[in-house]
Amino acid sequence: MSDEIAICVRGLVTRFGEQTVHNGLDLDVRRGEILGVVGPSGTGKSVLLREIVELDEPTEGEITFPYFTESNLEPRRGVMFQDGALFSNLTILENVEAPLREHTHLSPNLRAEIAALKLSMAGLDPSAHHKRPAQISGGMRKRAAVARAIALDPELLFLDEPTAGLDPISAANFDEMTRDLARSLGLTVFLVTHDLDTLHAICDRVAVLYDGRVAAIGTIPEIEAKAEGWVKEYFSGPRGRAATRGAAER
């Protein structure tokens, strides 16, 4: 992790009709860190993610990528959506090849090999290569979705609820995979989650969204030290305590 800022959000306001989701939200994501974003349902975590990847437009405010602008690079983004959003009429291997086919001039062989490498990095067995998304389990679909997200070697990886709906063992394996990928590829990860174990296991820092703003940001001990209100309830409720204990045992 470095002090360079990969994603910079300033004064973000998002309104849907009468309802204000973000109200002057500021957030910095450092380059190379895994940032966990938490908050009660409906506080616009997924909306924030969608705005950073330019799927939605904020009502006000701006989102910039200072590190990439300074070094004259394109901030390449890979996104894993909640249910994977794999193309259901393509096989798993073809799904990962799709962005490569669209954006590079690699030969078909090399393209398939790189796709297979990415699938293997995401922890997916070659036996799944020629299956369709409907034929594999939810956990495997999520892995395939991550493989597709990193197909073009993005610097920024966005994960929306990656461990939701996975059994605890798969979730732990998935966390490990995310951490390994982030470390070995030097990714900056923006991770929206409700999973306290994920936060403890892999996030360098955590940002808590509450009431349209970032209510707290920092490492978990830092946040817990000065937590109040919802944040306190979140980290020191029964589940929060259990996750802390779990992390301590590890």
Partner 1 sequence: MAAEAAFDFREDDRAPVLALRGDWTVDTIASLEAELSALAQRLKPGAVVDVGELGRFDVAGAYLVDRTLRGGAAGEETRIAIRGQHINALRLLQAARKAAAPPAPPPERLKGVVGLLDGVGRAVGAMGEEILQTVGFFGQTLTVLARLITSPRRIRWVSIVHTMEVAGLNALPIVLLLSFFIGMVVAYLGARILGDFGATVFTVELVAFSMLREFGAVITAVILAGRTNSAFTAEIGAMKMRQEIDAMRVMGIDPMDALVAPRVIAMVIMTPILTFGAMMSGMFGGLLVCWAELDISPVMFFARISEVVPAQHFWVGFVKAPAFALALAVIGCKQGLDVGGDVGSLGKHVTTSVVQAIFMVILMDALFALWFLEMDL
Q: Which region, judged by CB under 8 A, interacts with partner 1, from 12-20, 43-51, 182-190, 199-207?
A: 182-190
DSSP annotation of 53? T
Shortest approach of partner 1 to residue 146 CB, angstroms? 13
Task: Pick the binder of partner 1 from 16, 55, 62, 126 (CB under 8 A).
Answer: 126
For residue 28, the surrounding DSSP H or E stretch is: strand 19-30
- 117 binding partner 1? (CB under 8 A): yes
> Which of 11, 168, 186, 237 forms a contact with partner 1 (CB under 8 A)?
186
Report the candidate in 16, 87, 76, 4 with the shortest Cα–Cα distance to residue 46.
16
Q: Which residue has the tokens 């955590």?
A: 206
Q: How far is the CB of 119 from partner 1 (least distance, A)?
A: 7
Q: What's the token pair of residue 64?
A: 């910039």
Q: How far is the CB of 31 from partner 1 (least distance, A)?
A: 12
Cβ proximity to partner 1, 153 vs 222, nearer residue: 153
Stretch that binds partner 1, among 57-65, 108-116, 157-165, 198-206 (CB under 8 A): 108-116
- Per-residue x/- track, 62-81, partner 1 (CB under 8 A): ----------x---------
Sole window of 11-19, 104-112, 138-146, 216-224 interacting with partner 1 (rule: CB under 8 A): 104-112
Helix, strand, coil percent content, the chain, rounded in steps of 5: 45, 25, 35
- Report the amino acid identity of residue 5: I
The structure tokens listed for 217 are: 């940001």
Rounded CA separation 109/125 (Å): 19
Residues 6+ apart with CB under 8 A from 132: 88, 89, 90, 91, 92
Neighbours of 76 (CB within 10 A): 13
Binding region for partner 1 (CB under 8 A): 72, 88-89, 93, 100, 103-107, 110, 112-121, 126-127, 129-130, 132-134, 150, 152-153, 184-186
